[in-house]
């Protein structure tokens, strides 16, 4: 693997931040995004990153049709629902020994591997974030965890080189069980989807003792499915989804405390899911992230009524049938 040129597909909060940090460190970065206004602004004025960092860089920026090959190291940072669309122009340009690193939510590594081959797929788990502000400007919310791993669990020289490269943007470690981390984050995302529907700051919701049992039950369902498919959830910044499935009250309390610490350390008060619904009025990643939980649960003989009901509620919010802030938690409780 050569770190001479990095192609980042998706120049929003995650891709834009990582690309900016790498570019500022001297790496040749090509940002690819279908948002033509964003690309035009980066070309004319550069990319500005504000929030917990202050950066202004001028990386090469292109729309997908302008990307030239060959490409070797690709960081895929698009919404999970856009994976196939984003890979279409990348696949024919990707070298035989190249790789696509998924900087996405959900279990998109499986989809990427089906498209480009598992030998050219690398998984990543991350909890740092931010949001897109306007063309040419993004916000970085603050640091979190960053772990990468081969989808087959092997510790390879490529993985070590990637860790060294990506470490220039954010501290990173490697793992031989990347899917445990991805399932752990998926469990946490179930909580985040519900939090977005309540139309409340996450930290306020975490201090609502009446709300936490229903939210924890959601997390437990995902953790049970993960365990059944052989990828017992890893902890996410101290938040252990298994504690909810195991019913350990002390561990559950510690997990909620870990989330309080996380959110108190970040600029944002609400999730990107809430921003999709309330600000951008666009579909969320709910299908790409939570449908696999339902499907894998069904194959393993585990019912997921809360996750299924959550998916329905989010889709109602996406179409305007359900207003944010409505009685979401009672609606989830009915599903139990």
**Residue 203 maps to which CATH number?**
1.10.1040.10
- Specify whether 168 is located in the same domain as 20: yes
Cα gap 331→166, rounded to integer Å: 42
Which residues contact residue 149 at a Cβ distance below 8 angstroms, ignoring those fewer than 6 apart? 122, 123, 124, 125, 159, 174, 175, 176, 177, 178, 181
Domain check: are 133 and 227 in the same one? no
Q: Which of 144, 176, 208 is the last residue of a domain?
A: 176
pLDDT of residue 1: 54
Condensed to tens digits (0 to 9), the pLDDT of residues 148-204 reads: 999 999 999 999 999 999 999 999 999 999 999 999 999 999 999 999 999 999 999
Name 99's Cβ contacts closer than 8 Å, sequence gap at least 6: 1, 72, 73, 74, 120, 121, 122, 158, 162
Q: Would you state the pLDDT for residue 148?
A: 98
Residue 92, pLDDT above cutoff 80: yes
Q: How confident is the model at residue 332 (pLDDT cuts 50, 70, 90)?
A: confident
| CATH number of the structural domain spanning residue 73 | 3.40.50.720
Domain count, the chain: 2
Strand partners, 236: 239
Question: Do both 221 and 89 map to the same domain?
Answer: no
Residue 150 to residue 162: CA distance in whole angstroms = 11
Confidence of residue 334 (pLDDT cuts 50, 70, 90): low
pLDDT at 336: 59
Residue-wise burial string across 173-197, b where 16 or more C-beta atoms lie within 10 A, e elsewhere: eebebbbbbbbbbbbbbbbbbbbbb
End of a domain among 145, 176, 207?
176
Mean pLDDT throughout 77-101? 96
Query: pLDDT digit string (tens) for 21-80?
Result: 999 999 999 999 999 999 999 999 999 999 989 999 999 999 999 999 999 999 999 999
What integer pLDDT is reported at residue 3 of this predicted model?
A: 53
157 lies in the same domain as 68 = yes
| CA-based nearest residue to 196, from 326, 334, 51 | 326
Instruction: Please check whether residue 162 is in contact with residue 149, taking contact to mean a CB–CB distance below 8 angstroms.
Output: no
Same domain, residue pair 226 and 250:
yes
Q: Assess contact for 233 and 319: CB atoms under 8 A.
A: no
Whether residues 149 and 196 share a domain: the answer is no
Instruction: Tell me the three state secondary structure of residue 66.
Output: helix
Same domain, 325 and 278: yes
Question: What's the pLDDT at 331?
Answer: 77
Q: Could you tell me which of 209, 214, 207 has the C-alpha nearest to residue 260?
A: 207
169 and 24 in one domain?
yes
Tens digit of each residue's pLDDT (9 = 90 or more) over 102-154: 999 999 999 999 999 999 999 999 999 889 999 999 999 888 999 999 999 99
Pair of tokens at residue 61: 């920026």
Outline where DSSP puts E strands in 158-220. 173-174
End-of-domain residue from the set 176, 200, 235: 176
For residue 232, give its domain range.
Answer: 179-333
Residues 87 and 159 in one domain: yes
pLDDT reading at 2 higher than 60: no
Taking the CA atoms of the chain, what radius of gyration do you get in angstroms?
Answer: 19
Least confident of 144-158, 243-257, 260-274, 291-305: 260-274
């Amino acid at each position: 693997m050569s770190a001479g040129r990095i192609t980042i597909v998706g120049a929003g909060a995650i891709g834009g931040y990582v690309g900016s940090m790498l570019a500022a460190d001297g790496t040749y970065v090509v940002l690819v995004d279908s948002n033509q206004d964003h690309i035009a602004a980066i070309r004319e004025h550069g990319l500005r990153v504000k929030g917990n960092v202050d950066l202004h860089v001028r990386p090469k920026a292109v729309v997908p049709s302008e990307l030239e090959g060959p490409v070797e190291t690709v960081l895929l940072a698009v919404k999970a629902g856009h994976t196939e669309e984003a890979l279409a122009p990348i696949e024919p340009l990707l070298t035989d020994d190249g790789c696509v690193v998924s900087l996405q939510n959900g279990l998109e590594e499986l989809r990427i591997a089906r498209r480009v081959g598992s030998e050219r797929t690398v998984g990543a788990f991350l909890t740092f974030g931010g949001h897109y502000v306007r063309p040419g400007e993004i916000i970085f919310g603050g640091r979190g965890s960053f772990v990468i791993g081969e989808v087959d669990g092997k510790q390879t020289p490529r993985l070590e080189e990637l860790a060294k490269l990506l470490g220039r943007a954010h501290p990173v470690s490697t793992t031989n069980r990347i899917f445990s981390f991805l399932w752990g984050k998926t469990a946490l995302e179930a909580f985040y989807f519900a939090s977005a529907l309540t139309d409340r700051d996450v930290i306020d919701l975490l201090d609502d003792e009446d709300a936490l049992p229903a939210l924890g039950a959601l997390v437990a369902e995902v953790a049970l499915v993960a365990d059944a498919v052989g990828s017992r959830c890893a902890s996410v910044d101290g938040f252990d989804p298994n504690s909810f499935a195991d019913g350990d009250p002390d561990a559950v309390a510690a997990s909620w405390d870990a989330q309080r610490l996380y959110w108190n350390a970040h600029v944002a008060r609400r999730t990107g899911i809430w921003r999709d619904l309330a600000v951008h009025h666009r579909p969320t990643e709910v299908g790409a992230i939570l449908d696999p939980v339902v499907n894998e649960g069904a194959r393993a003989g585990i019912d997921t009524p809360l996750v299924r009901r959550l998916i329905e509620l989010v889709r109602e919010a996406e179409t305007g049938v359900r207003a944010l802030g409505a009685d979401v938690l009672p609606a989830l409780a009915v599903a139990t």
